[in-house]
Amino acid sequence: MNHPYPSPRYAWYVVGVLMLAYISSYVDRQILSLLVEPLKHDFQLSDTEVGSLMGLSFVIFYATAGIPIGRLADRSSRRNIIALGVFFWSVMTALCGIATSYSQLFMFRVGVGVGEAALTAVAYSLLADYFPKRKLSTAMSVFGVAYAVGSGLAIIIGAALIQKLTQAPKYELPFVGAVFAWQSLFFYIGLPGILIAVLLLTVREPARQGIVLTKGIASIPATFGEVLRYIRANRQTFLAHHLGYALLMLLIYSYGAWIPSLFMRHYGWTTAQIGMQYSLIVIVCTSVGILVGGRLADMWRQKNVVDSNLRVMAWQSVALIPLSLFPLLPTPELALAALVPIYFCLGLSGGLGSAAIQEMTPNRFRATASAIYLFVNSLISIALGPLLPALLTDKIFADPTKLHYALVITGLLASAGAASLFWYGLRPYRATLDYLERYLAVPVDKVPVTEQG
């Protein structure tokens, strides 16, 4: 059953509030990319251990907690789930400021992942009930701008404070003992998130669109088995979409984690030199790319290009293949200039992967389907994005100054793999949209049985 959508003005207010939460989450995630050198020096860590802190520690529970949280979101208040998640990850981020060992910092980063698991999939489901399909890709893309802003703000904040803090002596905290001065950065970025959690209480839970009624009563949420059967029946679509988008995100996390270090190690720049310029490129170019990608997909969709979400991502991936060679450029100025088209292209898919999930799954289990999508995405992108270049420098090249070669290899593998998967997935994606129409046209206990492949 379709209910009237909330007013556009209020719907965009909700996008704005959710963006603040998303910005906070990305600042918390990305700040470690500017702490690579002090982490290595003060905690005596290798590139691989730092890569684990940026990716593996976070993704352990971000991925696994996302599925049960998604199941809960399909049955209860999505607003409350997000608010609790924002509060929890903000506290965990602040606690990183009192860690006195690698193991403590690792565990607090696990806690950040648990909290952030309550945001993305749940927000996707929420937005799908605030916007009709013809406007959903644009709304998702505007929401997705937050990751560009958050990543850029992490660099701006870090560049402004880290150099000063790394030169300061340790200081004593009650019941904790001596901690490094640069760790106070975690208080600055963590504690404001508590205010965002309070602001989320102003968001109203919308009526769920497209819920089948039986004798005037909304059907119960789908079982997990039903969700898995739906995915299995459309497995070619889900595999191409999930793996292709995960490879694009692997590239984003890889670049976000290691580009500041690339300019410091390979080109000899300082944190201050790269910080502001790089952050502006990330914020402006990625944001423009996200908005262009969402608008382009919606325009194509209105012209009956039903696979527009995947099609935009397919072209995006092709464009990234030659751009992945940028670390081989001879000067830092040329490398910095190359980041402009790179981050524009990386931004194109910002809201499209999530919009595609909402488009090809029933409302009854959109949050669960989004959580499964993020589970696959996270295990590949967040875990391996920061870790893969580190493994290449530590284990293959055995030389941290070869970071530029590690980023070239990572970029080529990710972009070429994503392009292949998206082009392969176009036909199955169109078939899944047809399948969904048949699925929604019959009672929930008599779903279609035709499968892909």
Residue 409: Cβ within 10 Å count: 16
CA dist., res. 439 & res. 127, Å (int): 22
- Whole-model pTM? 0.75
pLDDT along the chain (453 residues), means of 10: 79 94 86 78 84 76 84 90 96 89 88 89 88 82 82 75 70 74 84 94 86 46 86 96 96 90 90 81 90 90 91 97 96 96 93 88 85 87 88 92 95 97 96 91 58 67
CA dist., res. 236 & res. 245, Å (int): 14
The two tokens of residue 439 are: 């699925």
The type of residue at 129 is D
So what's the pLDDT on residue 2? 59
Q: How far apart are the first and last CA of the chain?
A: 31
Instruction: Give the CA-trace dihedral at 417, 423, 428, 430, to 10 degrees.
Output: 140
The two tokens of residue 97 are: 């400021």
So what's the pLDDT on residue 26? 83
CA dist., res. 385 & res. 422, Å (int): 19
So what's the pLDDT on residue 220? 59
Give the up-direction half-sphere exposure of residue 59: CA atoms within 13 A in the CB hemisphere. 22
So what's the pLDDT on residue 67? 86
- Which domains does the chain carry? 8-203+223-440 (1.20.1250.20)
Distances (CA, A) of 398 to 210, 344, 385: 55, 32, 19
Name, in order, each residue with C-beta under 8 angstroms of 163's C-beta and a sequence gap of 6 or more.
270, 271, 272
Residues facing 171 on adjacent strands: 179
The two tokens of residue 106 are: 């690792």
